A = this chain, B = another copy of it.
Amino acid sequence: MIIVIQCADQVGLVASISAVVAQQQLNIVSMREYVDTTEHLFFMRLEVEEIVDPTELELQLKTVLPAEATIHINPLPHKKIAVLVTKEYHCLADILIRNFFNTLGATVQCVIGNHDDLRDVCERFGIQFYHVSHADKSKDTFEQEISHLIQPYQPDYLVLAKFMRILSPAFVAEYPMRVINIHHSFLPAFIGANPYRKAYERGVKLIGATAHYVSNELDEGPIIAQQIIPVNHSFTVADMVNAGKEIETSVLAKALKLVFEDRVFVYNNKTVVFE
């Protein structure tokens, strides 16, 4: 069972929280805590061996925590997700494979593509695929069609697995800190479109990928994970795109694992990640 706490910092928090946990005879398997001493914020992730009634435990924790504390207790952590894609298969296929073999830490409920290219691979794994074209309609209509499809599933997270349309602030606001994107550059370098072309023109010696929560600003949301690989003068833009796919796949997989295991906290447009 995982217990996740975020609140204002005060002296004795660890003592009070661990006292509550000890009273309940819960055995702490792993405890991670972090204090942002500038912002006076306290973050804790506890893993205990036993599974108990979350309601009672939450009540007891509230008695020792500041009023505004956020407490999440996940008896059986397992998330539900919807995946948005365009044409590129690599991130989606990795998610589908892990989903199929039950190692994703979440269940893929459906996949929505603004192109129809990835229907086949989804259907081979028995995953519902919806094609919602963005052509010949307003962004508003496009997003309403997506929302309408997603709603019945009540997913915990939307995963943008190389979804190449920019979502409106209104859409994103429906899923606050629940939309996860993979951006094909080492943010904040090369924000926006065609990052590999920009990287090529700048003559960089490393290229990167960044998994982040989507906020209102393009490519400006809290970063969850980043990774790079070396490139050199002999790489064309196409070579960089291909090399980048490998780390896009791997950094998105890593970020999803962290999020699904309740290891990521968000504040001030940054993340605390207990790896």
Q: Which residues of A contact B (CB under 8 A)?
A: 11-12, 14-15, 18-19, 21-22, 25, 27-31, 33-37, 89-90, 93-94, 97, 100-101, 121, 124-125, 186-190, 202-206, 208, 222-228, 232-234, 246, 250, 253, 268-273, 275
Query: A188 and B187 in contact (CB under 8 A), knowing A234-B30, A271-B233?
Result: no
A224 and B271 CA atoms in complex are apart in Å by 28
Set of chain B residues within 8 Å of A34, measured between Cβ atoms: 30, 233-234
Listed by A's residue number, 13 A-B pairs whose Cβ atoms lie within 8 Å are A15-B15, A15-B22, A36-B233, A89-B101, A101-B121, A124-B125, A188-B204, A203-B270, A204-B226, A206-B208, A206-B227, A233-B273, A246-B250
Set of chain B residues within 8 Å of A271, measured between Cβ atoms: 203, 233
A95 to B: closest C-beta gap in Å = 11
A125 to B: closest C-beta gap in Å = 7
Set of chain B residues within 8 Å of A226, measured between Cβ atoms: 204-206
The residue on B at minimum CB distance from A208 is B206
A182 to B: closest C-beta gap in Å = 14
Contact B204 A223 (CB under 8 A): yes
The residue on B at minimum CB distance from A231 is B226
A125 and B89 CA atoms in complex are apart in Å by 15
Set of chain B residues within 8 Å of A14, measured between Cβ atoms: 14, 18, 22, 28, 31
A12 and B19 CA atoms in complex are apart in Å by 7
Set of chain B residues within 8 Å of A233, measured between Cβ atoms: 34, 36, 270-273
A93 and B233 CA atoms in complex are apart in Å by 31
Contact A11 B30 (CB under 8 A): no
The residue on B at minimum CB distance from A233 is B272
Set of chain B residues within 8 Å of A250, measured between Cβ atoms: 246, 250
Contact B228 A206 (CB under 8 A): yes
B18, B186, B234: which contacts A12 (Cβ < 8 A)? B18
Contact A97 B101 (CB under 8 A): no
Set of chain B residues within 8 Å of A89, measured between Cβ atoms: 97, 101
Set of chain B residues within 8 Å of A222, measured between Cβ atoms: 203
A253 and B250 CA atoms in complex are apart in Å by 13
A111 and B160 CA atoms in complex are apart in Å by 32
A31 and B43 CA atoms in complex are apart in Å by 12
B15, B228, B234, B269: which contacts A18 (Cβ < 8 A)? B15
A234 and B274 CA atoms in complex are apart in Å by 10
Contact B273 A232 (CB under 8 A): yes
